[in-house]
């Protein structure tokens, strides 16, 4: 019973958070500076999700060759920058990771 | 003008590569929910009611560790706080939509759907049916999440960790964000957010992500205002 109550509470709050600005804000209420700031949300949040997954292992900075993820990630970033091709970026990144893992004997 | 149907299918196409990473994530969630002792129905209901991968994982861990309910609720909600930023960032694009559309889109607003949709909104000059792209991406992710978690719960199927399919998620985000960086302010904002996120990763409740995002946004905005753009 407690479990179900907890699920419903967390679900309701999560939904309220997601609906918050979409549901409440009107565009005419938003100052130009805020709109400008909001354009930076994806540019900031995506690297903030990506980089820890590349450079951290068990919450420790792992910049050695023993951590293939940052190397594969950097390769993928170069491909993304040069080609702007989503599928090619993912393919190069995955293959790079597998090759490096194989070379490291994992 | 692109038709509704075309936008809907573009949304499905946009989210497809991410599914490679979401599928194993869902399977592992299902397996860990069952091994944590959650009833089958509750484990799947969580995917339906909460629909947030990382929060669901943490909830399962905390439940199996016997952590008090209040703390679990607080932790899950703090983890999901980043969605308020997504909501704010999408708000200018969906303002003209009727209420029922906003309520539906809010339900399917996840990290993955946000990433592909906001990039699409920012790159597209169309204002007509872009919300159908959002819906296509969001519903596809929702379906794959329900199916993959259910498969993990019922069959206990697990993907070998050595396949590293979870890596498809950061890779897709790399493929989305790098081409969207054009100005110096944007590159510096992205780099700042990434570096702060690495440095602040030790903060509790995933707060490092929020701190990093706000720092990156402030940096980009500051540079842009200074340059007088």
What does the domain layout of chain B look like in residue ranges? 4-159+166-178, 181-229
Do A56 and A91 lie in one domain? The reply is yes
Q: Are residues A57 and A106 in the same domain?
A: yes
Is residue B196 predicted with pLDDT exceeding 90?
yes
Q: Assess whether A19 and A46 both reside in one domain.
A: no
φ, ψ for residue A32 (rounded to 5)?
Answer: -60, -35
Mean pLDDT, chain A, as a whole number?
92
Residue range A29-58: average pLDDT?
A: 91
A99: nearest CA in chain B?
B163
pTM of the model: 0.88
Residue of B49, B82, B171 lying closest to A93 (CB–CB): B171
Residues A13 and A32 in one domain: yes
Residues of B in contact with A6 (CB under 8 A): 69, 72-73
Residues A19, A59: one domain? no
> Does B98 score more than 90 pLDDT?
yes
Do residues A48 and A2 share a domain? Answer: no
Domain shared by A61 and A101, yes or no: yes
Q: How many domains does chain A have?
A: 2
Same domain for A51 and A99? yes
- Whether residue B56 contacts residue B148, with contact meaning beta carbons closer than 8 Å, is answered with no
What is the rounded distance in angstroms from the CA atom of residue B159 to the CA atom of residue B184?
41
A44 and A94 inside one domain: yes
Q: For chain A, where are the alpha helices, taking DSSP H only?
A: 2-24, 32-38, 41-55, 68-83, 86-103
Tell whether A34 and A44 lie within a shared domain: no
Q: What is the spatial distance between Cα B118 and Cα B127, in angstroms, rounded to a whole number?
A: 13
Q: How far is CA A5 from CA A11, B49, B58, B63, in A?
A: 10, 11, 17, 13
Query: How many Å apart are CA B127 and CA B198, to the nearest integer?
Result: 36
**What ipTM does the predicted assembly reach?**
0.91
Partner-chain contact B122 A39, CB within 8 Å: yes
CA–CA dist B20, B15 (Å, integer): 10
Range of the domain at A73: 40-106
Residue A41 scores a pLDDT above 90: yes
Do B69 and A26 make contact, defined as CB atoms within 8 angstroms?
no
* Per-residue pLDDT reduced to its tens digit, A11-26: 999 999 999 999 887 6
Short-list B155, B146, B157, CA closest to B28: B157
Give mean pLDDT, residues B91-98: 91
Question: In this model, does residue B128 exceed pLDDT 90?
Answer: no
Same domain, A54 and A89: yes
d(CA B196, CA B211) in angstroms, rounded, equals 8
Nearest CB neighbour to A6, from listed B73, B87, B92: B73
The B residues from 202 to 221 touching A (CB cutoff 8 Å) are 202, 208-209, 212-217, 220-221
Which residues of B fall within a CB distance of 8 Å from A50?
A: 170, 173-174, 177, 194
Cβ contacts of A74 on chain B, cutoff 8 Å: none
Q: How far apart are CA B208 and CA A94, in angstroms?
A: 27
* Torsion sign, CA atoms B21, A39, B120, B100: positive
A50 in the same domain as A24: no
Alpha carbons B8 and B134: distance in angstroms, whole number: 8
Eight-state DSSP code of residue A56: E
Whole-Å CA distances, B126 to B2, B25, B180, B198: 8, 34, 17, 36
With beta carbons less than 8 A apart as the criterion, state whether A50 and B177 touch. yes
What is d(CA A13, CA A1) in angstroms, rounded to the nearest whole number? Answer: 18
Of residues B176, B174, B17, B186, the one with CA closest to residue A77: B174
**B93 at the A interface (CB within 8 A)?**
no
**Distance (Å, whole) CA B170 – CA B183:** 22
């Amino acid at each position: 019973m407690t479990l179900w109550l907890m699920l419903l509470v967390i679900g309701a709050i999560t939904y309220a958070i997601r609906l918050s600005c979409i549901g409440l804000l009107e565009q005419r209420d938003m100052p130009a500076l805020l709109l400008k700031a909001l354009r930076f949300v994806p540019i900031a949040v995506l690297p903030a999700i990506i980089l820890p997954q590349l450079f951290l292992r068990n919450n420790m900075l792992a910049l050695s060759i023993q951590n293939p993820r940052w190397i594969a990630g950097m390769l993928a970033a170069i491909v993304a920058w040069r080609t702007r091709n989503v599928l090619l970026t993912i393919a190069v990144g995955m293959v790079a990771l597998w090759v490096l893992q194989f070379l490291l004997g994992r | 003008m692109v038709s509704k149907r075309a936008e809907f299918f573009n949304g499905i196409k946009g989210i497809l590569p991410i599914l490679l990473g979401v599928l194993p994530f869902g399977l592992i969630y299902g397996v860990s929910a069952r091994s944590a002792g959650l009833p089958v129905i509750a484990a799947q209901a969580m995917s339906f009611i909460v629909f947030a991968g990382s929060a669901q994982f943490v909830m399962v861990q905390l439940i199996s560790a016997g952590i008090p309910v209040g703390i679990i609720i607080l932790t899950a909600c703090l983890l999901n706080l980043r969605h308020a930023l997504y909501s704010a960032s999408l708000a200018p694009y969906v303002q003209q939509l009727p209420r029922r559309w906003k309520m539906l889109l809010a339900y399917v607003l996840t990290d993955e759907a946000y990433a592909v949709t906001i990039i699409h909104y920012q790159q597209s000059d169309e204002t007509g049916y872009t919300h159908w792209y959002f819906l296509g991406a969001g519903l596809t992710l929702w379906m794959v999440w329900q199916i993959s978690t259910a498969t993990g719960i019922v069959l206990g199927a697990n993907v070998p960790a050595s396949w590293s399919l979870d890596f498809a998620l950061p890779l897709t985000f790399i493929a989305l964000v790098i081409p969207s960086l054009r100005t110096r302010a944007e590159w510096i904002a992205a780099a700042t957010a990434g570096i702060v996120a690495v440095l602040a990763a030790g903060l509790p409740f995933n707060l490092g992500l929020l701190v990093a995002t706000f720092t990156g946004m402030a940096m980009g905005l500051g540079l842009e205002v200074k340059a007088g753009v």
